[in-house]
Structure 1
Amino acid sequence: MASSVPSPSRLTYPEVGATRRWPLPAGYGHLRVRTRVGDGPEVFAAAGRAVLDWRMHRAAWVTVRVRGHAAEGQTVVVGLRVGPLRFRAPCEVVWTVTDETETGFAYGTLPGHPECGEESFVVSLERDGSVWLTVTAFSRPAVRLTRAVAPLVPLFQRAYARRCGRVLRRLAGGG
């Protein structure tokens, strides 16, 4: 299994890599959304590629400024738009996994991100042949605006995670 967690760098939180473990760290809002993507190794491979090459993100309400596939230490700037508001959300890929049953990554927040925390996107091939996307996150507001709308943030995060699952199902040909 190819997976590792780098040491903290410019990240805005100390619990780097915590989306690989359970329970998630205290003091944050938590999110875990699982969506069935399809069945079989072909769907698993296609879904994993769509996650690692950022196609899933680009097809699911966000812009992504990054070079190449998701790789540890890579900086990515995710552009979010909520109504008339636009957010620039700089992140760093903090871990990746690519093996026979899991493919994905997590990114953590960098200075300038409206939230503080980490989010992972992992495609798994289960023993029964089903393929799932699991989005796991822990976060808390980092700026005045996100503190002001804090009750709405989990609703947006959950909607985005579900959207990622639907988009990935389409991209991977899972139905």
Structure 2
Amino acid sequence: MATARLTYTEIGATLGSAMPPGYHHVERRVCVGSGERAFRALAEGIMRWEIQRGAGLEVRAAADRAAVDVDITCVTRVGPVRVPVPCRVVAVVDEAARAGFAYGTLPGHPERGEEAFLAEMGADGEVWFVVRAFSRPGPWWAKLGAPVAKMMQKRVTDQYVRAGQRLAG
């Protein structure tokens, strides 16, 4: 059962039309294929943490599939240092042409905020992979490293996009 509290208050905002002010925003929307098969493959990969694994992160999740209140810790490396980034799934989307989840930061994460991963299929059959996030540094030491954190976030987002392209391909 989830016991730690999320480290931000704007829960679910990555799935809305506007993300909250006072945070760094990331929004990437990339066409990764077309058709129902590509959409389903991408959606299933998102729900089974394959985006994170495909980005080179070590995944430690309380379940093998994203669901509300499932905790997941992704471990990344900064040089020789392993950095755990604990999160909790705060929302799941399961619609005919839109699927994925959003997770939010937990204590111990160097940032405060939320990130969403979505598969979307347009009326024309094009399949889009969407990453939306808002974040700001958490503890004092993260504030000192904010420029490095933004650079790392861009690198990881690029890796998420490549993983999404492979899944839908």
For the aligned pair, the TM-score class normalised by the smaller chain equals: over 0.9
Match status 1:95 vs 2:56: no
Question: What secondary structure sits across from 1:78 in the alignment?
Answer: strand
Equivalent position of 2:106 in the other structure: 110
After superposition, residues 41-56 of structure 1 pair within 5 angstroms as 41-56=36-51
After superposition, residues 16-165 of structure 1 pair within 5 angstroms as 16-66=11-61, 67-165=63-161
Q: Measure how far apart 1:145 and its partner are.
A: 2.9
How many corresponding residue pairs?
165
Gaps of 5+ in 1: 1-8
Deviates more, 1:42-51 or 1:147-156: 147-156
Query: Any conservation in 1 of the 2:39–2:121 contact (CA below 8 Å)?
Result: yes
Query: Any conservation in 2 of the 1:93–1:108 contact (CA below 8 Å)?
Result: yes
Distance in 2 separating the partners of 1:36 and 1:162: 14
Q: Measure how far apart 1:158 and its partner are.
A: 2.2
Equivalent position of 1:3 in the other structure: none
Task: Note the aligned Cα RMSD (angstroms).
Answer: 1.3
Query: Any conservation in 2 of the 1:93–1:107 contact (CA below 8 Å)?
Result: yes
The residue type equivalent to 2:72 in the other structure is V
Matched-pair identity in %: 42
Question: What secondary structure sits across from 1:169 in the alignment?
Answer: helix
Segments of 4+ moved more than 6 angstroms: none
TM-score, structure 1 normalization: 0.89
Distance in 1 separating the partners of 2:50 and 2:77: 18
